[in-house]
Amino acid sequence: MNKRVYGVLGISSIMANWNADFTGYPKTISTGEIFGSDKAFKYPMKKQWDNNGEKVLYIKSMILSKDKDAVSLVPRTLKERYEYLFGIEDLSKCKDVSEVLKNLFTAVDVKNFGATFAEAKMNISITGAVQFGQGFNKYPESEAQEQQILSPFKDGTDADAKNSTLGTKIVSDEAHYFYPFVINPHAYDEFVKLGVTDGYTEGDYLQFKDTSLSSATAFATNSKEGCENEFGLFVETEPTLYLPNLTEYIEFKKGKDKNTISIHLRDLLEDVKSKVLNIEVYYNPHTTMIDCDLSDVHYYHIVTRKEV
């Protein structure tokens, strides 16, 4: 693939908790601004790939571990996950780093996001072709809601307990996260020269795009039910064009019937439009209106993928 891609991916969170901190509340910076980490976006993508039968290395998988008379459910180590995924009996017996590199590049998460692999005396670092920034909430009126949940069981550690225990669920009433990303296929040029990968291809990009536009909606856990993919902006450029973080040019406004997402890129792209190859916007026209100051933009329904 001989182009760069810059973009923004939007997640709506309605009575849900897209990315919690260790207190259970939505993550915030020191000013109180709500944000979601890049890991929060990548994990649903990995789960969707894993559910589709793709090879995913950096994801939790469990095994039953026997310790004397006890059997415990524990996560695999990175070495165990690698051996399980690629059918290797013992990674420590492998002396050919090129074999490990070839295997790593067949994992879809590594192909996109890179890897740090320090196992069996091998120290491998792969900078991913796809790089995410942090996703900040652009709806300032968002508030956290704390819900009390009644458990069907009493506290088993309290012999005098007569009632079932209470739990807590914390959600945002409404939040709209916007993540910047960039795709640089030339990040793998060195590994292409080594013959361990064919590089980041157009097929890899299309697979990333498809998953990035649906994985949040598909990932329906208790806290994530209510989180959906609501927006996608993809600006494809020549490989020599370098653009800043595009979320700075995105605005969100709450509406009575429909919300409005504004895209202000004309001033940024006016002098470099000859290097812009294609611009696509994905959204749900039933819930959202797009206000864009650019022409020659292709608009698609984020659910059906049909042109709007």
Q: Is residue 307 part of a domain?
A: no
Per the rule left: phi > 0, alpha: psi between -120 and 50, beta: everything else, 57 is alpha
Handedness of CA 263, 269, 274, 277 (dihedral sign): negative
Alpha carbon distances (Å) from 112 to 83, 89, 198, 271, 277: 21, 26, 13, 30, 22
Q: Is residue 306 part of a domain?
A: no
Three-class HEC string of 62-122: EEEEEECCEEEEEECCHHHHHHHHHCCCCHHHCCCHHHHHHHHHCCHHHHHHEEEEEECCE
pLDDT, tens digit (0-9, with 9 covering 90-100), for 231-257: 999 999 999 999 999 999 999 999 999
Q: Do residues 11 and 185 lie in contact, with contact meaning Cβ atoms separated by under 8 Å?
A: no
Tally of domains within the chain: 1
Between strands 259-263 and 288-292, the pairing is parallel
Q: Is residue 242 part of a domain?
A: yes
For residue 91, pLDDT over 80 is answered with: yes
Handedness of CA 304, 226, 209, 107 (dihedral sign): negative
Q: How far apart are CA 253 and CA 259, in angstroms?
A: 6
Q: Is residue 201 part of a domain?
A: yes
Mean pLDDT rounded to a whole number for the chain = 94
| Percent of the chain's residues with pLDDT above 90 | 87
Cβ neighbours of residue 98 closer than 8 Å, sequence gap 6 or more:
194, 195, 196
pLDDT on residue 80 = 95
* Phi, psi values for residue 153, rounded to 5°: -125, 150
pLDDT on residue 193 = 97
Between strands 164-183 and 135-137, the pairing is antiparallel
Structure tokens at 287: 């819930």
Q: Is residue 308 part of a domain?
A: no
Q: How far apart are CA 76 and CA 83, in angstroms?
A: 10
For residue 159, pLDDT over 80 is answered with: no
Of residues 166 and 191, which shows the higher confidence score?
A: 191
Q: Do residues 84 and 77 lie in contact, with contact meaning Cβ atoms separated by under 8 Å?
A: no
Of residues 246 and 153, which shows the higher confidence score?
A: 246
* Phi, psi values for residue 229, rounded to 5°: -70, 125
For residue 210, what are the domain limits? Answer: 4-301
pTM, rounded to two decimals: 0.93
pLDDT, tens digit (0-9, with 9 covering 90-100), for 208-233: 999 999 999 999 776 688 999 999 99
Q: Is residue 70 part of a domain?
A: yes
For residue 59, pLDDT over 90 is answered with: yes
Which H or E run contains 36? strand 35-36
Q: Is residue 153 part of a domain?
A: yes
Listed residue (18, 19, 25) closest to 170, CA to CA: 25
